[in-house]
Amino acid sequence: MQMSKRVAGKTLWVALLTCVVWASPSRAQGGAENASIGGVMCGIDVLVGDDFKQLAGRKVGLITNHTGLNRFGKSTLELIHAAPNVELVALFSPEHGLKGKLDERVADSTDSLTGLKVFSLYGETRRPSPEALKGVDTLVFDIQDIGTRFYTYISTMGMAMEAAAEAGIQFVVLDRPNPITATRVFGPFSDVEGKFTAYHNVPLVHGMTIGELAKMFNVERKINADLVVIQMQGYKRSMWYDESVLTWVDPSPNMRSLTQATLYPAIGMIEACNVSVGRGTDTPFERFGAPWINERKLAVRLNGLGLAGIRFLPYRFTPVASKFKGEECGGVQIVLTDRNAFDPSETGLSIVRELHALFGDSFEVDKVNRLLFNVAVVNRAKASPEPTVYTKTWTTELEAFMVRRSKFLIYE
């Protein structure tokens, strides 16, 4: 049988990659060399270590981006493309695109390595179409999440699971750490479900890995996909990302550090409002401001609340892109003093309350609900005559969630 140019090219590429990987003293396939490094082995590392047996004979559609890397920095796309007895037939990218560089609607594209079309799940559609899934019998998901409900990668996963179930194909999640730990859980909950920034009934900070969330989505949303989670090794729920011995890769253009991921659920809460959250500066989500804000007045009020694990410095900045581009903004720079004590929900809602109390109609407070999706909580922040504790508003719901959540946890 004559070998096609495409197959021949892949065969040569596989041979070259295999030589490189197996010549390395710390090959990605696992074993004593791999284990000696310590730290976490993500789902892709475990998959490679098992010689891709979970995908053997499969025609794979891969949902990934630049964060889909093994512990040695080689991309999941490359590894699956080169894997023997696995055929990569389709690619899909989330918000920000395959390379994670776009802060806009993403068009379909072509991958230079494989020659495959990359179907955007942040363009004309948010889920794989039946046409894009033709010839696919397994969808693989490998993207790094950051642990906050309105960060959209988990919604992409859920919607792709729905498409997989409808098409009768397997869905495989290559699990990754929750960078802000999988123990810290904070409300509030959303009033809606099925939205791109509120896909399921989970709190603002859910304390779960993507694999655990996939299990929850599959059961609670009655997706009933043929779900397989490739579990991590060496992972503990209490780990912050900098304890995993994994290299930090910016999950999106403005998520540039673990500190920013930690602050994101609080500061991202006001992003839909007429406030810059630092996009277009060197520290997004570590500052916020607007031309109408008096930075000293705001810093004094926020510091006076005694919020745990955080301080606010009066600050002026001029974004070079995004909201208020080229306009000087008054605001605050945020100093995270104790990440384990920091409460993002109390902090975010306290910021909402103080901005509304200090600056009135200059702050478009109702737009908070575009991401939070909880009218009662936003109204409480607006109406409170003095600083308040918000957590008691959702305590009962949070206790019920912890029981629900416990059924789907994988790691200790």
From the number of C-beta atoms within 10 Å of its C-beta (0-12, 13-18, 19+), residue 78 rates as middle
Tokens coding 331:
């605001």
For the four alpha carbons of 153, 158, 160 and 161, in that order, the dihedral sign comes to positive
Contact 262/241 with Cβ under 8 angstroms? no
CA geometry: angle 103, 89, 246, nearest 5 deg: 55
Residue 103 pLDDT: 87
Tokens coding 116:
């495959």
Task: Identify any residues that bridge with 139 across adjacent strands, giving them in sequence order.
Answer: 61, 171
**Phi, psi dihedral angles at 400 (to 5 degrees):** -65, -40
Helix (H) or strand (E) holding 158: helix 153-167
For domain 258-373, give the fold.
Aspartate Aminotransferase, domain 1 (3.90.1150)
C-alpha 28/C-alpha 48 separation (Å) is 7
pTM: 0.90
Which of 321, 275, 318 minimizes the C-alpha distance to 103? 321
Residue 37 pLDDT: 65
Return averaged pLDDT per consecutive 10 residues of the chain, 412 residues in all.
38 37 35 60 98 98 98 97 97 96 92 96 96 97 98 98 98 98 97 95 98 98 98 98 96 97 98 98 98 98 98 98 98 98 98 98 97 96 92 96 98 98
C-alpha 169/C-alpha 17 separation (Å) is 29
C-alpha 160/C-alpha 143 separation (Å) is 13
> In the CATH scheme, what architecture does the domain 10-249 have?
3-Layer(aba) Sandwich (3.40)
Query: What stretch(es) of the chain map to CATH 3.90.1150.140?
Result: 258-373
What is the per-residue DSSP string for 189-233? Answer: --S--SBTTB-SS--SB----HHHHHHHHHHHTT---EEEEE--B
Ramachandran category for residue 269: left, alpha or beta (phi over 0 → left; psi -120 to 50 → alpha): alpha
Could you give the 3-state DSSP secondary structure of residue 107? coil
